[in-house]
Structure 1
Amino acid sequence: MELLDPRIDLVFRGIFGVERNTDLLLDLVNAVFIDAEQPRVSQIMLLNPFNLPESANEKTSVVDIKARTESGMVIDVEMQVANLRDIVPRSLYYLSRMVSDQAFSGFQYRDLRKTVAINILDFRYFSSDRDHTVFRLRDDLGEVVYPDLLELHFLELPKFDINKWEYTRRSLSRWLAFFRHGGGERGKEFMMNDPMIQKAQAELERLSHDPAAREAYEARLKWLNDYVSAMGQARDEGWEQGLQEGREEGRQKGREEGREEGREEGRHQGRLEGRTEAMRDVVQRLMMQGWQAPRIAELLGISVGDVERISSMSSD
């Protein structure tokens, strides 16, 4: 039987979000912290344990696991498979909500505990080649992190290269390999002599053979596919509308210029400018939504240099 994909949120929570597997969640969190040169935690307690029947009908592309450590630190771990474009401000918003949720009757500000968000992304988001990006509150002119109360981690799975030898000594690499290659031949070398990865693999196999879990998984995949399709349709409609508006503007401009410099040449020039302006509007709109130049170039069938040139064009 084909194994379920551990990157799908229902499967992710089914492995890491249940009481019997808090050791797996603890190992994953510590791998992230070690990679960011942060202290390990020794205990972790789930705040929202996973329940398959309740989660099967969730109409969202997001799933998170909330936990608290022995020191009171609050941690939110999330697997995100759909690129919402605004993942960073969205994560900051929910991180702030988790801070405010610490308030209680008689609460004092000194009682605040550190809050950490770990976002595992199944898509590229930042322009750097690093697969692990960390944000903290830091002094502009120095290296002082203060107050050490907020921390955002982003793990970009497509940037993880299992063939890079330097990753073999990195504890986080084992988990990234599991998410990208769990159940596959390429991931087996990372599972050897690692009881946590082996246990996660066993949990993945158990879920894959659970009829209820597989049914929920198939329903979830259908929803995600519908979501991606709807987003793509909206993108295409916006693109076509931009082209039509640009063509019309180009024709109008061409007619005006044609009266002065020649009708045919003016129409041609107007059409070219209309297409360029339409392309500029689409490129700038995508960049405002968080798209990176290489991805825009792939979508539009142009070079990265063209994307950068078009994006810098004035709208005047």
Structure 2
Amino acid sequence: MTRETAEMIQSIDERWSNLTIANDFVFCKTMLNTDLCREVLETILGVPIERIEYVGRHEQLDASPEGKSVCLDVYVRDEAGTVYNVEMQTTDTRELPRRSRYYHALMAVDQLTKGSPYNALKDTYVIFICRFDPFKLGRRVYYFENTCRGDDRLTLGDGTKTIFLSATAPKQEPAESRLDEFLDYVASGTVAGELSAKLAAEVASVLDNQKWRLEYMMLEVRDQLNFDRGVLQGRAEGLAQGLAQGKEQGLAEGIAQGREAGLAEGLAQGKEAGLAEGLAQGKEQGLTEGLAQGREAGLAEGLAQGKEQGRSEGMAEGEERLARLLAALIADGREGQVAQAVLDPAAREGLYRSYGIDR
């Protein structure tokens, strides 16, 4: 194991001990406590909820095989069938309103089966818990529902509701509310009441769970490796693109200069002769360049698609083998070799052979 790899693992392990509920991984695991998840929803909405059930845990939704898929942090429904998606957001990506629109659409598609009437759609809530003010107006709660612009008393009744919470915005009422207690805990970890105390205890339980600690480490290592791989790939693609654009620009300038010189010479020798010669050369040149550029574009596209397909298939097979190996190590009480199996290719191959895990 290299020094850089060892330092990366140590850094990830140290981060785990200091994670808070604002981390989406910890938030997802904390919300697996059904009663606590229900209490958080009741606090945000200000209405009682009898019970909830999980539609999916860290659920991935796809609008279509070719469409963008998303992984929802918390995806639950209540006894009335109302569906809630709750997301923890620490970074202002400046696209949350558009993202909420897409989430509502995916949740609607997830509800209806072929032939179902549109009235079968249940209400959907998309809730973002932010550690910043997404609209910069100093509010802790931004609640959106479709209404008529000419008469805001008239609602569209499409059943979609979107809520943005700003944990860092100032309190708007003199009296401390249960929602203020929750948002203060998200922002700073302050325990000031029954709800925040329950959340703090559940977060401590999550951080004490060794299975989830290993899961977090695997995800972080995978993300770091993907990031490093992306940097290298981006640098290579940038170089290739720069060379291609430079070549194309040089070719265009050369053609322009050659055409200008040819035109001057053709005019000097005679308009009629120059025009005939110019047309012939232009046609031949255009055909040659078109064939060359078409061949280059086709080759680049084919290489890119083949590379992407091969990488996807290889990663899928490798992750499946790795998952089997890690399960075997944990089952045998060999958790100490998990990080080595993830990061050291030679050691990983040896463990594959020792457990008889074939490709």
TM-score (norm 1): 0.56
8 Å contact kept, 1:62–1:80: no
The percentage of counterpart residues that share the same residue type is: 24
One-letter amino acid of the counterpart of residue 45, structure 2 = F
Find the counterpart in structure 1 of residue 203 from structure 2: 204
Q: 1:49 to 1:62 in 2, by over 3 A?
A: closer
Matched, 1:13 2:25: no
Question: What CA deviation, in whole Å up to 9, does each residue of 1:167-192 have, x standing for no partner?
Answer: 6532211211221222xxxx13x22x
Find the counterpart in structure 2 of residue 128 from structure 1: 137
The CA distance in 1 between the partners of 2:201 and 2:220, in whole Å, is: 22
The alpha-carbon deviation at position 217 of structure 1 amounts to 4.4
* Structure 2 unmatched ranges of 5 or more: 1-13, 60-68, 235-359
Matched, 1:26 2:38: yes
The alpha-carbon deviation at position 94 of structure 1 amounts to 1.3
Q: 1:148 to 1:169 in 2, by over 3 A?
A: farther
Aligned positions of 1:1-316 closer than 5 A: 2-16=17-31, 18=32, 21-34=33-46, 39-49=47-57, 63-142=72-151, 143-159=153-169, 161=170, 164=171, 166=173, 168-182=175-189, 187-188=190-191, 190-191=192-193, 194=194, 196-217=195-216, 223=223
Greater C-alpha radius of gyration: 2
Question: What CA deviation, in whole Å up to 9, does each residue of 1:108-155 have, x standing for no partner?
Answer: 122221111011122332121102111111121222223150100111
Higher share of residues assigned helix = 2
Higher relative contact order (CA 8 A, sep 6+): 1
The CA distance in 2 between the partners of 1:85 and 1:10, in whole Å, is: 22
8 Å contact kept, 1:12–1:79: yes
One-letter amino acid of the counterpart of residue 203, structure 1 = E
8 Å contact kept, 2:140–2:167: yes
8 Å contact kept, 2:142–2:163: yes
8 Å contact kept, 1:3–1:205: no
The CA distance in 2 between the partners of 1:26 and 1:67, in whole Å, is: 9
The CA distance in 1 between the partners of 2:200 and 2:118, in whole Å, is: 42
8 Å contact kept, 2:58–2:71: no
User: What is the root-mean-square deviation in Å for CA atoms of aligned residues?
Assistant: 3.3
Question: What CA deviation, in whole Å up to 9, does each residue of 1:189-213 have, x standing for no partner?
Answer: x22xx1x432221111112223343
Equivalences, count: 205
| Structure 1 residue ranges (4+ consecutive) displaced by more than 4 angstroms after TM superposition | 60-63, 215-224
The CA distance in 1 between the partners of 2:211 and 2:166, in whole Å, is: 30
The alpha-carbon deviation at position 26 of structure 1 amounts to 1.0
* Structure 1 unmatched ranges of 5 or more: 52-59, 235-316
Q: 1:64 to 1:215 in 2, by over 3 A?
A: same
The CA distance in 2 between the partners of 1:86 and 1:62, in whole Å, is: 16
8 Å contact kept, 1:63–1:80: no
The alpha-carbon deviation at position 82 of structure 1 amounts to 3.0
Q: 1:31 to 1:50 in 2, by over 3 A?
A: same
TM-score (norm 2): 0.50
Q: 1:113 to 1:175 in 2, by over 3 A?
A: same
8 Å contact kept, 2:127–2:162: yes
Q: 1:13 to 1:167 in 2, by over 3 A?
A: farther
